[in-house]
Structure 1
Amino acid sequence: MDKVGAARSPRRLGLVERLRWTMRGLLVAVLSQAGSVVLWTVTVVTLATLVVGIGFLILPIVVNAVRGLAGFHRRTAREWSGVAIDVPYRHTAADGAYDTAGTFAQCRRLLSDPATWRDILWMTLNAPVGLVLGLLPAACVAYGLNGMFVTPFLWESMGPHWGFGVTWFITDQGEANLAIPQGLLFVVLGLLIAPALGRLHIRFNRALLAPTRNARLTLRVEHLTETRSDAAEAQAAELRRIERDLHDGAQARLVLLGMKLGFADTQLETNPALVRQLLAEAMESSSQALTELRDLVRGIHPPVLAERGLDGAVRALAVALAIPAEVSVDLPGRPQPPIESAAYFVIAEALANVTKHSGANHASIRLWHAGGRLRAQVGDNGRGGAKAEGGSGLRGLQRRLAAFDGELDISSPVGGPTLVTMEIPCEL
């Protein structure tokens, strides 16, 4: 168990948290029956109908539903106890066009993925395991509450004809009153075991839903292949941008500068006034070319980043922003130069999006290092609706970070606010 789960030891949990774990157990028990049993049955029927061809049409849909249920358990594992369960799938159920040929190809890919069969095994075992581990704490609490608040009073009013719960073994009112401490014991027992059984179910889920060692290596190879391709494409795009900026900017001005100086040389004896004008224009052109070259260099590696580090460079971006920006930086050291540069450009592009598209009147920048990862958040109070899909600039930022095994998460509901979170593994 990771640090979060370890920090929240069952011995340190309060009453509210234990009640919450009890309710979570009820949810697990319901999902183990209404989710796992139903989906397991549908999956088995679908696999059985593959031989007649019908199963191929619905298998991607069924697998997508199974992975959705497994994904819910992965999310709850992280939210409830801080246990991260990685996604093991090689292909998504939505890969490819949904037609006859595409569906056959999809089914072949899904059935060849070991994670698909591990999900089926997980559903098979989760039906009894989830029911027992999830229902036991709630059953103890319910049984205890019955003994504390129901049995003594109903025995008094209805006598031995009331045969429910602990009253099966009760013969008089005195014994009925003993149900109160017995019920309290069951309530305490249920609350005590609820967190432990909940975490036990999470460990069970991690054992079957997390990638195996071989699957992890395969996913790692696929990820490195993809990020290498993205990095090569990003590098090629950056070289094209530099070439375009040089060709359209500084190079054109330097060519014009040479032409003016050459013409001034021919007019030096006959028209000194024109020569002075041409020299003045040449000086202006050289100054503009120098400015454009400096801007180009800043786009490759900003001098402020080299001189003042990521902390100072981010604060400089905030000062230059058109709207007020709150900055919070907690970096006890400097990241490696490539990671520092990537983080700077991601933050700069995110701030540029705030200015261009958000309509916000306030922004926030937070930068810190924790758990071996450099983290940054750029937020605004604008209109929201930002998405990485559709070839937007945010997708380019994701690809830039992927080259460093980094991640970019975007939370931007319509109406705002927007929060762009970046994480890059690194040591300071």
Structure 2
Amino acid sequence: MGSARGRIRSKFRAGGRAFVLSFESIAGSATLFVLWVLSVSFVPLGVGLVSTPWVTRLVRRHADRRRGLADAWSGIRIPVPYRPFPRDARPGLLGQAERTLLILRDPATWRDLRWLFLDMTAGYVLLVLAFGLLLYPVEGLVLAAGLWRVFEDDAYWYAFVPVDSQTTGLMAAALGVALFHLGLWASRPLLRLHFVLARASLAPAPGELSRRIDHLTETRHEAVDSAASELRRIERDLHDGAQARLVAMGMNLGAIEALVEKDPARAKQMLATARTSSAEALTELRDLVRGIHPPVLAERGLGDAVRALALRMPVASEVTVELPGRADAPVEAAAYFAVSEALTNAVKHSGADRVWVDLHHQEGRLRISVTDNGRGGALAGTGSGLSGVERRLGTFDGVLAVSSPVGGPTMVTMEIPCALS
């Protein structure tokens, strides 16, 4: 008995949810659809360059909310296939144009537009049916209870029943009861069908997912190769650096042991040399460890580690950090070395006298930008240091974008999907 009541409550709950969601569907989706179409139409006039990114953000939030409801109410998971939302690559109208172009090139943008149209039409109809079949029978019962008398002179149509007498009123009531039972049976499937329609509109095509999987597989292989190369570098540095110094120290100590009685002055001189060699070996080991995982990164987090890195740069630097927590250690390490490479490139190749670093976390992504006021012309092509950064970020499904017009400025933007603790 209790389970039957629970099923009935869940069916009424589905109807209530459909009723609430119908307002969001017809008002929210329709409004955003019109705003988006108008915004894109005004791109040639320049107004759309400013409004399109703003409207697109609203559309994506609206779609993400529907994804959340689909999962919570019907157990339907809808992928989130958006590319990282582009930031202004450069100031002024040209930067806005580049940003809008990147948004319009994202296939997910056009899927969102298709979903808005379907949501305010077919999706809205499904929601109305889900709660309407539960509400409409009330009218039939009211007609049978005596409201039909108002329409004695002119028949009132309840569905396909013309109500103008008590008999036809009772027929309307019977039809209402039948519709009510139909509504109890259909409310949950209709709500689920609404979310299935949303998934069909918003989910990426199978081919797009396959390309995504291929890309992730490729970046994983590159990460394995990069790790193997890094291990070989560490082994080489140890062999040629600290290990060689330690071996030389051992030989010196053996010679000192032989000379300590015969020639104390010479032994004392060799001891000073051994002390210097030990200090140099310790420095090399510290540098090697810092290259693997800087202690300040483990102890203080990414923000302070980047600040310390910027302080060692030979040019003026400004670091802005807005991170309410810490990412996983591998993500922090990848971000740290990516910033290090970008700063090194700025110092070596750009001719800049000032760099700006911005780190913040937004919409589930760690976003980093490194900007310099140098000569520009930087490329993230094969063989450059930035291509290595791109491979490192790709291990975590991150992306790198470079905006570097001739004459500058150069902005290197990096984004890594992650959560903060």
TM-score w.r.t. the length of structure 1 is 0.53
Distance, in Å, in 1 between the alignment partners of 2:182 and 2:167 is 25
CA distance, structure 1, for counterparts of residue 7 and residue 89 of structure 2:
49
Matched, 1:66 2:75: no
Letter in 2 for 1:67: R
Partner of 2:150: 161
User: Can you give the 5+ residue segments of structure 1 that lack an aligned partner in the other structure?
Assistant: 1-10, 301-344, 358-383, 413-428
Q: Is the 8 A contact 2:11 2:184 kept in 1?
A: yes
Tell me how far apart the structure 2 counterparts of residues 173 and 192 of structure 1 sit (CA, whole Å).
27
Counterpart of 1:14 in 2: which secondary structure?
A: helix
The equivalent of 1:119 in structure 2 is 112
Partner of 2:325: 386
Distance 1:120 1:193 in 2: 28
Instruction: Measure the CA separation in 2 of the matches of 1:252 and 1:185.
Output: 92
CA offsets 1:242-272 (integer angstroms, 9 cap, x no match): 788889977766554443333123226688x
Equivalent position SS for 2:98: helix
Change (3 A) 1:117 1:172: same
Partner of residue 56, structure 1: 49
Aligned equivalents of 1:130 and 1:213: distance in 2?
23
Alignment match of 1:260 (pick from 253, 256, 264): 253
State the 1:237 CA deviation. 6.8
TM-aligned CA distance change 1:35 to 1:225, over 3 Å: farther
How far apart are the structure 1 equivalents of 2:218 and 2:64? 25
Displacement of 1:172 in angstroms is 3.2
Aligned to 2:193: 200
Aligned to 1:36: 29
2:342 matched to 1:403? no
Letter in 2 for 1:83: I
Residue of structure 1 equivalent to 2:316: none
2:166 to 172, 181, 192: 172
Of the structure 1 ranges 160-169 and 66-75, higher mean CA displacement relative to structure 2 is found in 160-169
Counterpart code for 2:197: F
Rounded to whole Å, the distance in 1 between the matches of 2:396 and 2:47 is 44
Rounded Cα–Cα distance in structure 1 between residues aligned with 2:188 and 2:208: 30
Following superposition, the deviation at residue 388 of structure 1 comes to 3.3
1:87 maps onto 2:80 in alignment: yes
The alignment partner of 2:76 has SS state of coil
Amino acid at match of 2:165: T
- Unmatched runs of 5 consecutive residues or more in structure 2: 302-322, 338-365, 367-390, 399-415
**CA deviation profile, 1:155-209 (whole Å, cap 9, x unmatched):** 46x7723889789726339955983x65444333223212212222222222221
- Counterpart contact for 1:26–1:134, Cα < 8 Å: yes
1:283-338 per-position Cα deviation (integer Å, ceiling 9, x unaligned): xx9xxx9xx9xxx9xxx9xxxxxxxxxxxxxxxxxxxxxxxxxxxxxxxxxxxxxx
Give the distance between the partners of 1:389 and 1:142, measured in 2 at CA. Answer: 51
Give CA deviations for 1:1-58 in whole Å, capped at 9, x if unaligned. xxxxxxxxxx9x8233323322332344222211221111111211222232222221
Percent identical residues: 24
1:141–1:186 Cα contact (<8 Å) kept = yes
1:140–1:186 contact (8 Å) kept in structure 2: yes
Measure how far apart 1:72 and its partner are.
2.3
Residue deviations 1:358-415, cap 9 Å, x none? xxxxxxxxxxxxxxxxxxxxxxxxxx95243998459689998963879986364xxx
Q: Distance in 1 between matches of 2:228 and 2:91?
A: 34
* Corresponding position of 1:339: none
Question: What is the CA–CA distance in structure 2 between the aligned matches of 1:239 and 1:396, rounded to whole Å?
Answer: 21
**Aligned-pair CA distance for 1:60:** 1.4
SS where residue 79 of structure 2 aligns?
Answer: coil
Distance in 2 separating the partners of 1:46 and 1:408 = 29
Task: State the 1:130 CA deviation.
Answer: 1.4
For residues 73 and 394 of structure 1, do their structure 2 counterparts lie closer, same or farther at Cα, with a shift above 3 Å needed? farther
> Alignment partner for residue 128 of structure 1, among 121, 140, 162?
121
Q: Give the counterpart of 2:131 among 134, 138, 147.
A: 138
Q: CA RMSD in A?
A: 5.2
Structure 2 distance, partners of 1:81, 1:121, is 22
Give the distance between the partners of 1:102 and 1:240, measured in 2 at CA.
40
Query: Amino acid of the residue matched to residue 34 of structure 2?
Result: T
Q: Give the 3 Å change call, closer, same or farther, for CA 250–160 of structure 1 in structure 2.
A: farther
**Alignment: residue pair count:** 302
Q: Distance in 2 between matches of 1:95 and 1:231?
A: 33
Residue 215 to residue 131, structure 1, CA distance change in 2 (3 Å):
same
